[in-house]
Amino acid sequence: MDDEGKIRKKILIAEDDPVSRHMLMAFLVKWDYEVVAAADGIEALRILESEGAPPLAVLDWMMPGLEGPQVCQRVREQSGRPYVYVLLLTARSQKGDLLRGLESGADDYLTKPFDAQELRARLRVGQRILDLQDSLIAAREELRFSATHDALTGISNRASIFEAVSREQSRQAREGGSFGVIFADIDHFKMINDRHGHHSGDVVLREVTQRMMGCSRPYDTLGRYGGEEFLIVLPGSDGLGALTVAERIRESFAKRPVHTSAGPVPLTLSLGVAAEGGEAVTDAAALLQAADSALKRAQQNGRNRAALADESGMAIDVGPSEEPEK
């Protein structure tokens, strides 16, 4: 494929000789690169260490301040930054010199005087390697996302949300404060599937996810615990604060149905709330058990309500005609 129509690739050229630098720039601009130029090694390193640094770099070996191999070595010492493909330009042709350049972390080299078409071909090789790396990183992130998120709703899956509870419990044990959890269950979800079909059931699950997210804070964590059951982790919330969030979620469904291709689907939720704070620290499993018991209490008391478990394991219920305590 021709270079025309492609997104312009950003490239750094570091060359202290003005004539050689302008000649390189002319070639690269003609080949549709976005060129960033440096006149010495120190300036080249500064550019490569900055945000949005060019992913391609052509470094002259001999430069004031820092030589090309020194710049390359400094770049390779940095961890956690995007990879830079480095091509060294050098008049040196001794095998030992070339090995030194490669050992400094350079990906390729070209001896002066260079052939313009050979330079272009080598830069294309570098770009293909960068593109392949981007594809591998994207595939890795996709696998990581799939391993920790629910495929239907896109939120945390059971294992991931349980880890969020454990992390928050560990933080609370170290730093104090409190946090709450909410178990939410769609009332009579099997009936929804039976009456409206499983496709509509999937629409309902996705809509439940969106409305819960709309009722939660940006730093709360929402996960699908299993089937039609969801779990929310609320850092910094005590029991009554978490109960207020649960009631807000309940009301968001009680007031309006979920619209599907099979028609509007009336929907209610039952929610169980538990919180942990102060000096007493229980384990994550015990906290989830308390929230689950509160959820069962809400269901037994008529559904479409939220229930808060207190320290004795009892539950404070909030239903359609009630308001959570302030």
**Helix, strand, or coil here: 109?**
strand
Is 228 catalytic? The answer is: yes
Length of the chain: 326
- Could you say which of 15, 67, 168, 228 is catalytic? 228
Cβ distance 122 to 87 under 8 Å?
Answer: yes
What is the token pair recorded at 275?
Answer: 């919180």
Which secondary structure element, helix H or strand E, spans residue 125, and what is its range? helix 116-148
Task: State the 10-residue block means of pLDDT for the chain, 326 residues long.
Answer: 56 92 92 93 93 92 91 88 90 72 85 88 93 90 87 93 90 85 95 91 94 92 94 92 93 88 91 77 80 93 90 55 49
Burial class, 301, CB count within 10 angstroms (exposed 0-12 / middle 13-18 / buried 19+): middle
Distance in angstroms (rounded) separating the CA atoms of residues 42 and 45: 5
Chain position carrying tokens 């906290």: 287
State the pLDDT at residue 319.
64
State the pLDDT at residue 309.
86
Q: Choose which CATH entry (3.30.420.130, 1.20.58.100, 3.30.428.10, 3.40.50.2300) describes domain 9-147.
A: 3.40.50.2300
State the pLDDT at residue 2.
45
Name the H helices within the chain. Answer: 18-30, 41-49, 68-77, 95-103, 116-148, 158-175, 189-196, 198-215, 239-254, 284-300
Which residues of the chain form CATH 3.40.50.2300? 9-147
pTM confidence score = 0.64
Which residues of the chain form CATH 3.30.70.270? 158-318
DSSP-derived letter for residue 294 is H
Q: Which CATH class is domain 158-318?
A: alpha beta
What is the token pair recorded at 160?
Answer: 């991931």
Name the H helices within 197-266. Answer: 198-215, 239-254
State the pLDDT at residue 326.
43
